[in-house]
């Protein structure tokens, strides 16, 4: 009951997953989603780094080939330069152009060897190449790659038409530049200064594009495989969620309809995740609800039975008043009627309190209660109304704040008062009822001893049943409803406590009622 009872100190603790279930459904769903996103991010990053490194290597290679040609030209006569550049062009597939210091074109290797590479028109290629170029543009946009200008052959082939050649000429150091061919393959150019002029090498590196696209294809294939696996795992995960939830929904629907006395809610003991917690919580809730309904039905049957006796007696007395003429007999019938009315009044009050106790504790807000002052007030009230011959009450008050529990003071007082009332009723005239409260470990124990006949072992559980009433000799019938100890037990259990009764071990006779409640710091 305390698991659903509000407290001023802390909220009810949430059910915790065992260590085997810390990989929760949330973690699994996030893992599947993050896996796909992470794979895309890593693949994109890898491909971008791979392309950048490959582009750098190819640019350095073209620059090295140009520098090697310049170094070779510096060791041969100028008459051999055309043959040298023609041979280098055939070996490297580069197009070499030598410009004079004024910018005029002196040597073009293609005029000697013919073209070593060719710019291809995208309109003449297959549709698959168009798809590949679209993927190239999408990837460049995704990674924010720099855009290159289109490669165009100048109308007048002079050094001034090539910015990289002019930069190499003015800075006296090698310069490179990358442009895009019409089919988005790179055209790499490298300019190296030479004797006041510039040697320019250009190459349409189609192998670079093919290598990058091949790597991208492998990555896309791997991504497709992972996505398929992710989808299958997601379907499996959804199935492991949907199927048990459907079973729980069906069971909850049957509980709501109430057509079956025993609805078996699946507990899913092997599930250690949130679904397992939900299944066991719903199962416990349905069992608690079923038990509460059974208690209500039994309580209603008991109430009906207990009310019939005083009502029957009252009816007999009232009916007899119409037929009896003897004043003495009429007086006795009136006394019986008054006693039955008083008995009915006590029954109705106790029944109302018993019915209200359970519901009240379920929505109660607990507070710190020091049982020392609380029991002292109860004892003082008993002493103030004690009559001659009644039992005496002795209370060993504990130290201040040593017997503190979490609870409702009025309800705890009602439970303790019911036990004292029972002890006083069974005590002999002038007997002594001893009360003590102390903390033992992480609980507070209240002990109430009397000097009565005690409670037989076979009746120690039955005395806490509703309307169970075994009264001492000499007590008038109907003075007690038989609900006092039942109410006390309900209040104690509502505070996560226990109550029991045994024979006293320090006296020849008498009963010892013990109430155990969680200490405030533990609660």
Domains annotated on the chain, with CATH: 25-217 (3.30.450.20), 284-518 (3.30.565.10)
Given this model, what pLDDT does residue 42 score? 80
Given this model, what pLDDT does residue 22 score? 58
**pTM (whole model) above 0.75:** no
Encode the chain (523 residues) as per-residue pLDDT tens digits: 444 444 444 344 444 444 445 566 666 677 777 777 777 778 778 878 888 888 899 999 999 999 999 999 999 999 999 999 999 999 999 999 999 999 999 999 999 999 999 888 888 888 888 888 888 887 777 777 778 899 999 999 999 999 999 999 999 999 999 999 998 899 999 999 999 899 999 999 888 888 888 888 887 888 788 778 877 877 777 777 777 778 788 887 777 776 556 677 777 777 777 777 888 888 887 777 777 777 777 667 666 666 676 777 777 777 777 777 778 887 887 887 887 787 777 667 766 666 666 666 666 678 899 999 999 998 888 888 776 567 889 998 888 888 899 988 888 988 898 889 888 888 888 888 999 999 998 899 999 999 888 888 888 887 877 666 655 554 444 455 567 788 888 888 888 899 999 988 888 888 999 999 999 875 4
Backbone angles phi, psi at 387, to 5 degrees: -100, 170
Give how far the C-alpha of residue 496 lies from the chain's centroid of Cα atoms, to the nearest Å: 27
Pair of tokens at residue 51: 């392309």
Report CA-CA distances (Å) from 230 to 31, 133, 167: 10, 28, 53
What residues contact residue 169 under an 8 Å CB cut-off, 6+ apart? 101, 159, 191, 193, 197, 198
Residues, the chain? 523
Given this model, what pLDDT does residue 140 score? 76
């Amino acid at each position: 009951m305390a698991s659903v009872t509000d407290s001023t100190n802390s909220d009810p603790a949430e059910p915790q997953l065992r260590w085997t279930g810390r990989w929760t459904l949330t973690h699994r769903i996030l893992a599947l989603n993050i896996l796909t996103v992470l794979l895309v991010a890593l693949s994109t990053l890898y491909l971008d780094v791979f392309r950048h490194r490959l582009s750098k290597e190819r640019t350095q290679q073209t620059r090295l080939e140009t520098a090697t040609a310049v170094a070779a030209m510096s060791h041969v006569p100028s008459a051999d330069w055309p043959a040298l550049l023609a041979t280098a062009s055939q070996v490297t597939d580069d197009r070499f152009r030598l410009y004079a210091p004024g910018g005029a074109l002196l040597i073009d290797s293609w005029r000697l060897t013919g073209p070593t590479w060719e710019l291809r028109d995208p309109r003449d290629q297959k549709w698959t190449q168009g798809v590949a170029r679209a993927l190239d543009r999408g990837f460049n946009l995704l990674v924010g790659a720099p855009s290159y200008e289109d490669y165009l052959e100048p109308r007048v082939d002079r050094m001034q038409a090539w910015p990289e050649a002019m930069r190499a000429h003015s800075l006296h150091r090698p310069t490179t530049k990358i442009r895009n061919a019409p089919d988005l393959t790179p055209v790499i150019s490298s300019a190296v200064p030479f004797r006041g002029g510039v040697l320019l090498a250009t190459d349409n590196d189609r192998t670079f594009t093919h290598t990058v696209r091949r790597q991208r294809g492998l990555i896309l294939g791997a991504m497709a495989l992972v996505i398929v696996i992710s989808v299958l795992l997601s379907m499996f995960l959804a199935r492991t969620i949907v199927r048990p939830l459907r079973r729980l929904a069906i069971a909850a629907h049957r509980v709501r309809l109430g057509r079956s006395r025993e609805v078996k809610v699946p507990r899913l003991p092997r599930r250690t995740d949130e679904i397992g917690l939900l299944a066991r919580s719903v199962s416990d809730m349905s069992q608690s609800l079923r038990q509460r309904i059974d208690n209500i039905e039994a309580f209603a049957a008991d109430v009906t039975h207990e009310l019939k006796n005083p009502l029957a007696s009252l009816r007999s007395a009232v009916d007899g008043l119409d037929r009896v003429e003897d004043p003495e007999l009429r007086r006795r019938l009136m006394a019986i009627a008054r006693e039955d009315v008083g008995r009915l009044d006590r029954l109705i009050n106790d029944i109302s309190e018993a019915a209200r106790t359970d519901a009240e504790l379920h929505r109660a807000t607990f507070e710190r209660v020091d049982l020392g002052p609380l029991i002292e007030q109860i004892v003082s009230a008993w002493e103030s109304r004690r009559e001659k011959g009644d039992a005496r009450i002795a209370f060993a008050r504990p130290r201040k704040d040593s017997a503190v529990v979490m609870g409702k003071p009025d309800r705890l007082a009602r439970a303790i008062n019911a036990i004292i009332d029972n002890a006083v009723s069974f005590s002999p005239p002038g007997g002594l009822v001893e009360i003590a409260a102390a903390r033992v470990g992480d609980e507070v124990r209240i002990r109430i001893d009397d000097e009565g006949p005690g409670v037989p072992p076979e009746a120690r559980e039955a005395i806490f049943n509703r309307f169970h009433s075994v009264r001492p000799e000499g007590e008038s019938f109907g003075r007690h409803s038989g609900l006092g100890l039942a109410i006390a037990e309900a209040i104690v259990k509502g505070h996560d406590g226990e109550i029991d009764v045994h024979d006293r071990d320090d006296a020849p006779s008498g009963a010892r009622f013990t109430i155990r409640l969680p200490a405030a710091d533990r609660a």
